[in-house]
């Protein structure tokens, strides 16, 4: 039942809103993973980010798409938790690892071992509209555990204007998406994060983004 509801939600609600109401211009769509295990990392400005990314994949891959989101935000009540996990397919992640007694990455590792595609936002939370914040190193720890899994960088521009943090009204605004070559594990965390940041800087430079006030 939940699988059917999830399919219908993305088919009848998410995809029409993202692909028709907003509109996407995607560069190098062919670089997105065609199956799992795989990791997609993207910048984070809007609640629409995960939906936009998931809309880039064919519906047949929907059961394998697993966005990762903060447990403290999406699990405040039972209804929100049900919708997040059963309909969106979110894997909850504890942001305060000091309070987490179990391995905070174990659910993500298990998903990769099942051949799923993780959607990660290394900034950790939605930042200021169209401004990329510093990446947290959790993605490097995950890449170290699974060095054979490709990590695809995706830079998005426009969704921070359509539905920025703190806003509830959707404003139609065209979104540009730039997909980069997969980033492979370099052998240590610092060089890997430097490489990932360089990849995002290169993708952002393609967008030629003017200052937005």
86-119 pLDDT, tens digit per residue, is 999 999 887 665 655 678 899 999 999 999 999 9
pTM for this prediction: 0.86
Task: For tokens 């990762």, name the residue.
Answer: 68
Instruction: With beta carbons less than 8 A apart as the criterion, state whether 158 and 93 touch.
Output: no
The predicted structure's pLDDT at residue 213: 43
- The whole domain housing 57 covers 2-207
Domain-embedded: residue 190? yes
pLDDT over threshold 70, residue 172: no
Domain-embedded: residue 50? yes
The predicted structure's pLDDT at residue 160: 67
> What domain count does the chain have?
1
The predicted structure's pLDDT at residue 198: 92
Helical spans, DSSP H, in the chain: 2-9, 15-16, 48-55, 71-74, 78-82, 106-113, 138-145, 159-162, 189-207
Domain-embedded: residue 77? yes
The predicted structure's pLDDT at residue 108: 95
The predicted structure's pLDDT at residue 146: 96
Domain-embedded: residue 93? yes
Domain-embedded: residue 213? no
Residue (of 98, 67, 99) closest to 84 by Cα position: 67
d(C-alpha 4, C-alpha 43), whole Å: 29
User: Which residue did the predictor score with more confidence, 99 or 206?
Assistant: 206
Q: Is 133 exposed, middle or buried (0-12, 13-18, 19+ CB in 10 A)?
A: middle
Domain-embedded: residue 30? yes
User: What DSSP assignment string belongs to 55-71?
Assistant: HTS-GGGGGGEEEEEEH
CATH, residue 95 = 3.40.1130.10
d(C-alpha 11, C-alpha 107), whole Å: 27
Domain-embedded: residue 177? yes
């Amino acid at each position: 039942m939940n699988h059917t509801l999830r399919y219908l939600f993305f088919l009848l609600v998410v995809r029409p809103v993202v692909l028709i109401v907003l509109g996407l211009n995607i560069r190098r769509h062919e670089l997105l993973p065609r199956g799992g295990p795989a990791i997609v990392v993207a910048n984070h400005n809007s609640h629409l980010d995960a939906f936009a990314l998931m809309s880039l994949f064919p519906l047949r891959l929907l059961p394998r798409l697993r966005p990762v989101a903060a447990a403290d935000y999406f699990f405040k009540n039972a209804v929100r938790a049900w919708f997040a996990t059963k309909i969106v397919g979110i894997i909850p992640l504890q942001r305060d690892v000091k309070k987490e007694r179990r391995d905070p990455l174990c659910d993500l590792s298990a998903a990769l071992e099942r051949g799923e595609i993780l959607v990660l936002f290394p900034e950790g939370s939605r930042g200021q509209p169209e401004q990329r914040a510093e990446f947290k190193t959790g993605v490097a720890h995950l890449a170290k555990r699974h060095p054979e899994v490709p990590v695809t960088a995706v830079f998005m521009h426009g969704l921070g204007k359509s539905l920025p943090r703190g806003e509830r009204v959707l404003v139609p605004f065209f979104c540009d998406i730039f997909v980069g070559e997969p980033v492979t594990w370099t052998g240590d965390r610092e060089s890997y994060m430097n490489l990932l940041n360089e990849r995002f800087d290169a993708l952002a430079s393609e967008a030629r983004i003017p200052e937005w006030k």
